[in-house]
Amino acid sequence: MNDFTSSVADAKIPDATVRRFSLYLRYLEDFERSGISSVASGVLAERGGTTAAQVRKDLSFLGSFGKRGLGYSVKELTGVLRDVLGLDSVWRVALLGAGRIGTALFRYEPFRARGFHITTVIDNDPGKVGTRLGDVMIRGEHELECALREDRTDLVIVAVPAPVAQALVDRVVAAGVRAVLNYAPAQLRLPDDVALRNVSMTVELESLSHALTRLRRCR
Amino acid sequence: MNDFTSSVADAKIPDATVRRFSLYLRYLEDFERSGISSVASGVLAERGGTTAAQVRKDLSFLGSFGKRGLGYSVKELTGVLRDVLGLDSVWRVALLGAGRIGTALFRYEPFRARGFHITTVIDNDPGKVGTRLGDVMIRGEHELECALREDRTDLVIVAVPAPVAQALVDRVVAAGVRAVLNYAPAQLRLPDDVALRNVSMTVELESLSHALTRLRRCR
DNA sequence: CACTGCTTGTGAAATCGTTCACAAGTGGAA
DNA sequence: TTCCACTTGTGAACGATTTCACAAGCAGTG
Ligand SMILES: NC(=O)c1ccc[n+]([C@@H]2O[C@H](COP(=O)([O-])OP(=O)(O)OC[C@H]3O[C@@H](n4cnc5c(N)ncnc54)[C@H](O)[C@@H]3O)[C@@H](O)[C@H]2O)c1
Ligand SMILES: NC(=O)c1ccc[n+]([C@@H]2O[C@H](COP(=O)([O-])OP(=O)(O)OC[C@H]3O[C@@H](n4cnc5c(N)ncnc54)[C@H](O)[C@@H]3O)[C@@H](O)[C@H]2O)c1
């Protein structure tokens, strides 16, 4: 009844659109919980701070399965978005660095529910290696390649100090991992076929600081 | 000799450019430490994973103070970037939510060095209120307005559970704060004159998951 | 059926950001 | 002084993304 086969005509979808898919999915799950079975583009737009036209254009990358006059089936749209975002697979994740950020991210529940399983944790602090973080044993830095291969890691989260980040991801990439989420303030150099996302508190804060400065100067 | 007066013709600088300014500044500080006194656009570009033309176009928003044939003075450029990013003021920051992410962010050193001072921490867990996080006393949620006013807070970091985020920021905005850095997976609705940046691990992971799925399907 | 109210899907236009290409400026060498 | 190697600053071309505008489709009603 709902197999949602990958009939997705996977052209290249703009990155901005993919990020919005993530948000739409979040809202749709709320709607599903509230028992709402169909939503119009305008509703999703208001929820997500964009425009109805933007929502429709975004969704048009996935084909056309809205019902004119009614909107989109929450259930169907959820399925299609999960499919295009690749959330029906389980992704095997390795965490590099079990420091403050690393452990906070590790304990963040929602992403387990979305199929991201942290199966490997690596740190080089002798006081941490051999201890457990949740249900995962922390392994030493020298076991990196070995661990990635054993666990068939798909994706790596970098939460080590910036100066060691590049050397570690080089090894990670050599071991065949094709996706990196980087929290270290380092500009990582990776081959083109490895996907990279950077999260930087400093960049966000400084961009806010710029905005505040502008506000101040204009008044 | 280097007063770097705000001769910045502050037109509206693209957001993407401002974010790159943050990165350029990071590199410039490395160069300064290494005793390098002048850099060409190409060098900054290679360091930052963009192109020389991009760097020059970005910097041209700030006026023109490069020396043709030589490049930019590291010291001067550092000063100009710090100025336009508003890093010469001290920004007073309040942290809402002293949970796992909140404390990890609190203990993150580099942003103190950049003029972001966390002067207020708010939580509503009775077991936390009254205890200290570093050198700051954790205050109860009902003291929010009072604390923001006393500390003349410029910027708020949201690290509370998503369901309570909107209600809290409404109060924060009413208290006059004009910048919010949001870590909760909630789409906050704010007046136009309040700057907002969202950081979402879920969005980043899902965009990586999409990329991985595409890679898999293409091979 | 025809009519109404509502909503999608999508070309075309507008806007925004990036890359190109090159004239013009700089310091150093001869 | 002239020449050379190098690099900036920027209009113009290009490409990508967002917004607009509207024909076409659906459900419900009379
Ligand atoms: N993106 C953000 O918003 C953000 C916020 C805070 C911190 N950070 C960054 O995250 C990183 C970690 O920050 P933190 O506050 O958790 O620091 P931390 O010192 O608490 O943790 C770093 C961990 O990495 C480990 N480590 C060091 N070298 C290693 C190696 N070669 N191999 C394996 N493990 C190694 C350390 O033992 C430590 O446990 C830093 O790069 C920091 O700048 C990012
Ligand atoms: N952006 C990211 O990458 C990322 C990663 C992990 C978590 N998060 C989000 O950050 C938030 C915090 O996550 P966490 O793992 O630290 O959770 P947590 O439960 O450890 O911390 C939440 C804290 O907020 C406090 N709190 C709850 N209601 C409050 C209120 N009304 N007023 C003041 N304080 C209140 C709680 O007492 C607790 O200390 C969540 O919204 C989570 O989804 C974001």
CATH of the domain at A42: 1.10.10.10
Q: How many independent structural domains does chain B possess?
A: 2
Answer whether B175's CB lies under 8 Å from B149's CB.
yes
* DSSP secondary structure letters along B34-60: TT--EE-HHHHHHHHTS-HHHHHHHHH
Give the gap in angstroms from C-alpha B1 to the nearest C-alpha of chain A: 24
> Which of A13, A47, A187 is nearest residue B187 as measured by Cβ atoms?
A47
Share of chain B above pLDDT 90, in %: 88
Distance B105 CA to ligand 1 centre (A): 12
- Same domain (yes/no): A51, A154: no
pTM: 0.94
Q: Which of A35, A50, A84 is the last residue of a domain?
A: A84
pLDDT at A94: 98
Strand nucleotide closest to residue A19 (CA to C1'): D17
Structure tokens at A121: 């944790």
CB B101 to CB A108 under 8 A? Answer: yes
- Same domain (yes/no): A179, A105: yes
In a domain, A154, yes or no: yes
- Same domain (yes/no): A136, A168: yes
Is the CB of A200 within 6 Å of ligand 1?
A: yes
Indicate the length of chain A as a whole number.
219
Q: Which of B58, B84, B110 is the last residue of a domain?
A: B84
What phi, psi does B72 have (nearest 5°)?
-110, 145
- Same domain (yes/no): A24, A74: yes
- Among residues A85, A69, A113, the alpha carbon closest in space to that of A4 is found at A85
Q: How far is CA B144 from CA A66, A187, B91, B163, B171, in A?
A: 44, 37, 18, 17, 8
- Among residues A170, A133, A17, A110, the alpha carbon closest in space to that of B201 is found at A110
pLDDT 10s digits, A4-53: 333 344 578 999 999 999 999 999 999 999 999 999 999 999 999 999 99
pLDDT at B10: 55
pLDDT 10s digits, A70-111: 999 999 999 999 999 999 999 999 999 999 999 999 999 998
pLDDT 10s digits, A59-72: 999 998 899 999 99
Q: Distance (Å, rounded) from C-alpha B6 to C-alpha B62?
A: 10
- Same domain (yes/no): A27, A106: no
Q: Which of B35, B60, B84 is the last residue of a domain?
A: B84
pLDDT 10s digits, B60-108: 999 988 999 999 999 999 999 999 999 999 999 999 999 999 999 999 9
- Same domain (yes/no): B35, B138: no
In a domain, A215, yes or no: no
Strand C closer than 7 A to residue A41 Cβ: yes
Distance B97 CA to ligand 2 centre (A): 6
- Same domain (yes/no): A157, A123: yes
- Same domain (yes/no): A116, A174: yes
- Same domain (yes/no): B76, B95: no
Q: What share of chain B is helix, strand, coil (3-state, %, to 5)?
A: 45, 15, 40
Range of A139's domain? Answer: 91-203
Ligand 1 pocket mutation pick from A183, A199, A200 by most atoms within 8 angstroms of CB: A183
B211: enclosing H helix or E strand: helix B201-218
More confident residue, B11 or B202: B202
Distant-in-sequence, close-in-space partners of B142: CB < 8 Å, separation ≥ 6 = none
Nearest CA in chain A to B196: A208
**What three-state secondary structure class fits B197?**
strand
Q: Distance (Å, rounded) from C-alpha A34 to C-alpha A32?
A: 5
Residue with tokens 């970037």: B81
Q: Residue A1 pLDDT > 80, yes or no?
A: no
Torsion of CA A123, A127, A131, A133, to 10 degrees: -50
